[in-house]
Amino acid sequence: MATPVKVAKTESWDVCFDAAVEVARKAGEEIRSAFSSEKRIETKSCAVDLVTETDQKVEKMIISTLREKFPTHSFIGEESAAAGEKVELTDNPTWIIDPVDGTTNFVHGFPFVAVSIALSVNKEVVVGVVYNAILDQMFTGQLGKGAFMNGKPIHVSGQEELSQSLLISEFGSSRDKEKMDLVFSNLGSFLNENNSAHGCRFLGSAALDMCQIAIGGGDMYFQFGIHVWDIAAGALIIREAGGVVWDTSGGPFDMMSRRVLCASSVKLARTIAEGLTQMELERD
C-alpha cells in the first residue's frame, strides 16, 4: 500500500471539515429542490455523459463559498474541468468537487445522487464529505478520525471471501466497444459458475458506490475511467472505515490515474486485483 504523505496535524483541518459539511448541506438543498423539477439537459464527452444547469450552479456555489473562507486554497471541479479549466493537483490545499455525482440518476429521478467534496493537502486527502440529499445520508471522513454516516461511526464488512461478497461497479459513460468489452470481461471474472460473488450492483454514482463499501453494504468495488472528483472523498471515507483502496493493479492508489479498487479486506482486494484485466487511461 502507499506510504501516507505527511500532512499537518489533523486538528488543523477541523475548520475545513466543518465548512465542507456546511456547504455540502447547502448544495444538497439545491439538488433536492431541483430533483423533481423539469431539467435542461446538455451533453459533454458523448451522448450519455450528461450535465444540467444544477451541476453548474451547485459547483459555482460550492467554490465561491469555500474560496471566500479559504482564499489561498486551490480548486478542482468537474464542471470547471469540462469547461476547459486545467486540472492540476499540487501540494497546496486543494478542494476537489463533484457537485452532482450521479447526474444521469438526477435526470431520471433515481435517488442515488450526491455532492462529493474532498480536501487534499500535499496530495493526501484529509477531509472527505459525500452527501446524498435525496435520502439525507451524510457520509464523512477526516484523516485519522474515522468515518461516519449522519454522525454515527461506520465500518467496512471485513469480508474476505469472493464467494460471500457483493460486488459494486459501473459501466461508465464511454460506449467505446473496446472499453465495454473490457467492462463485461472483468465483471465476468467474478460472476461465473466457477468463481462468483453473490451478485453485482450498479448505483450510478462512484461516490455513493464507495460509501456503500464503507458502511458494509457492499464488499468490493472497482472501476476504470472515473475522475479524481468522483473518488477523492470516497477513498478517504473507505480507508477511515477500515477498508482498502488500491490501484486496480494492486499497487498504491493514485487518485489522478482514473482507476480504483476498493475492498473490505486486503485478502479480497488481492483476489480482485489478480482477476482484473487492466486498462491504461489518460490521467486527470
- DSSP letter (8 states) at residue 161: -
Estimate the share of the chain in helix, then strand, then coil, as percent rounded to the nearest 5.
35, 25, 40
Contact between 253 and 260 under an 8 Å Cβ cutoff? The reply is: yes
Q: Is 181 annotated as a binding residue?
A: no
Q: How many C-beta atoms surround the C-beta of residue 55 within 10 A?
A: 25
Closest alpha carbon to 221 in 281, 282, 156, 279: 156
Q: Is 176 annotated as a binding residue?
A: no
40, three cell numbers: 435542461
Q: Is 91 annotated as a binding residue?
A: no
Contact between 249 and 165 under an 8 Å Cβ cutoff? The reply is: no
Q: In whole angstroms, what is the distance from residue 94 CA to residue 96 CA?
A: 6
What is the largest distance, in Å, between two alpha-carbon atoms of the chain? 56
Q: How many C-beta atoms surround the C-beta of residue 267 within 10 A?
A: 14
Binding-site residues for Mg(2+):
78, 98, 101, 230
Binding-site residues:
78, 98, 101, 230
